[in-house]
């Protein structure tokens, strides 16, 4: 592929694997971008993540202007057209470069019969995608979201709020780190969440040295709201990758069901200098009998992830609400907390079915947080916290603090 730039080649590989092999965009990108310099890597990531995010809109443009269903195209043709359409519609790439390299990708995939078709469609896209995108009405097709996610956002925020949220999560959010030890990085800007600093970029050397940890303000807020102290026993369910675990104070037991993620959790905690945390590989809904009598618990439950769609470009196409699992985890934690102890329930989603509905179904007493953190108070249920990407500039997190009834 000498006639295709390394950045476009990497982005094409991501598109092919995400949509044809159900691979994860971030993992695929790491392997596809190996060997790229910093500038190429940044361009490749913008192309790959942008095209994955915008694929609903891109497919609409390809089908409208190319006059053939995308699902009937050969996978390499589909990937190359999506990549080319993204460049033409959303970047300042020269049209001839986008056209020529998309055609070359198909040629190098040895689908010679599709080369004329690809060339023709790319030329139609070059001429027509701009006006087509401008003509689309505001909504999930134009912003490239599944209809069901748009409907969830409208339930929470109304039509205008949903549109603002979708806009915000199609753009990069702020870059924030948590100060683990020592002084903040020289360029760091303090934020409204204690210990959270806004930075231009994450310094990998400072992460490896245990000084900082990449973690959004929304995530750090959830960890802070556990409010654990020295001398307390703290249970952390579904703990990997460990950002919030590293915030917890006291005698911490972190539970993770997946062995690979448990290894990642141990490695991350070691990097943060938290060798005092006990990691247990177990199912959070069926905990070992000896895990009992905790003062506090953190249930950072698996969820649809509708608050982190900006960071995970493919998640909008694979997101699944998990209210039954979330309720089971919350009840499991409540059973292992001493009478009068507290449970912090958090999810990185804005879906009411996974947020306030789960808390309501648990029957646990809510300890209001809105007065302590008024900037993050839930818009309709102020006893809870809800960070919103379009309002707060950070990932979307729902946070509830609850009292053990036993």
Cis geometry, peptide bond prior to residue 116 (ω within 30 degrees of 0): no
The partner residues of 385 in beta bridges, in order of sequence, read 377, 399
Catalytic residue among 225, 238, 348, 355: 348
348 is catalytic: yes
Selection from 318, 394, 330 nearest residue 365 by Cα: 330
Residue with tokens 């909008």: 316
Q: 27-37 burial string, b = 16+ CB within 10 Å, else e?
A: ebbeebbeebe
Q: Which residues contact 67 (CB under 8 A, 6 or more apart)?
A: none
Cβ atoms within 10 Å, residue 378: 20
The answer to whether 225 touches 399, Cβ cutoff 8 Å, is: yes
Active-site residues: which are they?
Answer: 348
């Amino acid at each position: 592929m000498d006639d295709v730039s390394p950045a476009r080649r990497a982005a094409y590989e991501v598109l092919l694997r995400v949509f044809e092999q159900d691979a994860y965009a971030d993992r695929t990108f790491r392997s596809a971008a190996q060997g790229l310099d910093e500038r190429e890597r940044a361009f490749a990531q913008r192309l790959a993540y942008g095209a994955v995010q915008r694929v609903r809109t891109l497919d609409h443009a390809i089908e409208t202007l190319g006059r053939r269903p995308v699902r009937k195209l050969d996978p390499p043709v589909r990937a190359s057209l999506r990549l080319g359409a993204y460049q033409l519609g959303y970047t300042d790439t020269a049209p001839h470069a986008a056209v020529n390299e998309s055609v070359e990708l198909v040629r190098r995939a040895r689908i010679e019969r599709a080369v004329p078709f690809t060339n023709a469609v790319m030329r139609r896209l070059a001429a027509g995608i701009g006006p087509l995108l401008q003509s689309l009405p505001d909504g999930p097709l134009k912003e490239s979201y599944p209809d069901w996610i748009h409907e969830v956002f409208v339930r929470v925020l109304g039509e205008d709020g949903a549109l603002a949220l979708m806009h915000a999560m199609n753009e990069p959010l702020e870059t924030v780190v948590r100060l683990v030890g020592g002084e903040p990085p020289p360029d760091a800007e303090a934020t409204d969440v204690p210990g959270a600093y806004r930075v231009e970029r994450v310094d990998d050397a400072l992460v490896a040295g245990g000084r900082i940890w990449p973690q959004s303000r929304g995530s750090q807020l959830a960890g802070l709201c556990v409010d654990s102290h020295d001398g307390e026993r703290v249970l952390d369910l579904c703990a990997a990758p460990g950002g919030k675990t590293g915030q917890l104070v006291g005698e911490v037991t972190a539970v993770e069901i997946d062995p690979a993620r448990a290894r990642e959790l141990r490695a991350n905690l070691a990097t943060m200098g938290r060798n005092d945390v006990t990691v247990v590989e177990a199912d959070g809904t069926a905990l070992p009998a000896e895990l009992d009598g905790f003062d506090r618990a953190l249930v950072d439950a698996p969820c649809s992830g509708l608050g982190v769609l900006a960071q995970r470009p493919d998640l909008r196409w694979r997101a699944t609400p998990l209210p039954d699992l979330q309720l089971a985890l919350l009840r499991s934690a409540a059973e292992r907390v001493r009478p009068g102890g507290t449970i912090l329930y958090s999810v990185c989603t804005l879906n009411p079915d996974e947020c306030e509905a789960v808390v309501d179904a648990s029957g646990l007493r809510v300890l209001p947080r809105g007065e302590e953190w008024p900037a993050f108070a839930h818009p309709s249920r102020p006893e809870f916290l809800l960070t919103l990407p379009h309002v707060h500039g950070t990932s979307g997190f729902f946070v509830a603090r609850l009292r053990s009834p036993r």
